[in-house]
């Protein structure tokens, strides 16, 4: 970076002096001190819904033909935010709005000296992507497969952007998969969900959960008939159900196996003269104890942790509602059969 030679106030030649702990340019005639401040530069990180980052190819030196985020000097009379949006429009043809400040970093340029690069996350509001001004091309690149960028500061800013969005993207992907599978009436899921970690913890603590459930159903007014059933038989059946919850969510069991088991459970409870409402209540109480364990197990420091818990809650509801329905169907079929036999007699 070239140094000033003459004073802009009086026109006399500049000298150097040691002031405030640094050597600085000083006018030897009028005493004006020239402080060397970094030049403000505005930079933009803009992503589309496919998680691709908008980059422009530089048409001029320095770093001609390399890719970078829209970037440029702030001009006198405009805010750094306005400079970012102006550069986005000039270099990429896009109009946008500031979402948040991402990063502030320094960069030393051989021509301009020290630069202060301020990077914002920007959301597109209009325009068509096209290179312009200092850019020959504008296009989107996958955030995890970007080309080498012209400025290290932008790579750092994009890394911060990805870190900020990581949990949100994970929640979105998990929710989308969960909803899609629910709409298609599946129990299993084709890919990993965020709540799988909690589901695994439930499996590891099945015995503890079932023990609490046993204490509940043998004292709860809604399951009085279960007090006369063998405790070990109830424990064994509940452990099977807990195993099913994990296996079927992992798509290790078929819909047919699921249906057959609960039809049989309904038939068994009808033959054992357990009222249907108590059989349904026993399943509901098991679901309650799984949920209570989940709530006590989790750590709720981030939004993604809270979402993980509620996603598992929705999966529990879906699983146990289906189990209760098939149990009721199995119970009703046996009852109907008995009624028909009585009629024939």
Strand 39-45 vs strand 52-58: parallel, antiparallel, or unpaired?
Answer: unpaired
Q: How many angstroms separate the CA atoms of 69 and 45, rounded? A: 6
Count of CB atoms situated within 10 Å of the CB of 121: 21
Instruction: Verify whether residue 137 is a known catalytic residue.
Output: yes
Q: Which helix (H) or strand (E) holds 126?
A: strand 113-127
Per DSSP, the three-state class of 282 is: helix
Catalytic residue among 52, 81, 95, 137: 137
**Tokens found for residue 156:** 């750092």
* Under 8 Å between Cβ of 6 and 12: yes
Give every strand in the sheet of 67-68, ordered side by side. 67-68, 52-58, 135-142
Q: How many angstroms separate the CA atoms of 343 and 345, rounded? A: 5
The residue behind tokens 């691709």 is 52
The residue behind tokens 């952007």 is 161
Q: Between 196-204 and 231-249, two packed helices, what is the crossing angle to 10 degrees?
A: 160
* Under 8 Å between Cβ of 136 and 110: no
Per DSSP, the three-state class of 18 is: strand
Which residues are part of the catalytic machinery?
A: 137
């Amino acid at each position: 970076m070239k140094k000033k030679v003459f004073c802009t106030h009086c026109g006399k030649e500049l000298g150097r002096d040691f002031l405030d702990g640094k050597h600085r340019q000083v006018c030897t005639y009028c005493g004006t001190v020239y402080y060397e401040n970094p030049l403000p530069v505005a930079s933009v990180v803009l992503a589309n819904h496919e998680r691709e980052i908008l980059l422009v190819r530089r048409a001029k030196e320095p770093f001609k033909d390399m890719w970078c985020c829209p970037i440029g000097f702030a001009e006198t009379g405009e805010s750094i935010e306005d400079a970012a949006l102006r550069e986005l429009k000039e270099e990429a043809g896009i109009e946008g709005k500031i979402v948040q400040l991402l990063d502030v970093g320094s960069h030393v340029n051989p021509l301009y000296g020290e630069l202060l690069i301020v990077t914002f996350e920007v959301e597109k509001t209009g325009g068509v992507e096209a290179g312009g001004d200092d850019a020959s091309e504008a296009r989107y690149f996958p955030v995890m497969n970007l080309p080498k960028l012209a400025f290290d500061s932008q790579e750092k800013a994009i890394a911060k952007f990805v870190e900020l969005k990581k949990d949100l993207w994970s929640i979105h992907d998990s929710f989308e998969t969960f909803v899609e599978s629910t709409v298609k009436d599946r129990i299993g899921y084709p890919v990993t969900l965020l709540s799988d970690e909690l589901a695994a913890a439930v499996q590891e603590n099945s015995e503890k959960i079932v023990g609490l459930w046993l204490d509940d159903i043998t004292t709860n007014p809604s399951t009085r008939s279960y007090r006369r059933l063998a405790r070990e038989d109830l424990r064994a059946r509940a452990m099977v159900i807990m195993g099913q919850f994990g296996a079927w969510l992992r798509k290790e069991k078929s819909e047919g196996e699921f249906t057959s088991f609960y039809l049989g459970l309904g038939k068994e409870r009808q033959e054992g003269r357990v009222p249907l409402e108590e059989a349904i209540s026993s399943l509901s109480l098991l679901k309650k104890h799984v949920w209570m364990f989940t709530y006590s197990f989790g750590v709720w420091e981030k939004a993604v942790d809270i979402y993980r818990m509620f996603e598992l809650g929705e999966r529990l509801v879906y699983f146990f509602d289906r189990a209760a329905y098939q149990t009721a169907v199995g119970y009703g079929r046996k009852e109907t059969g008995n009624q028909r036999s009585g009629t024939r007699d």
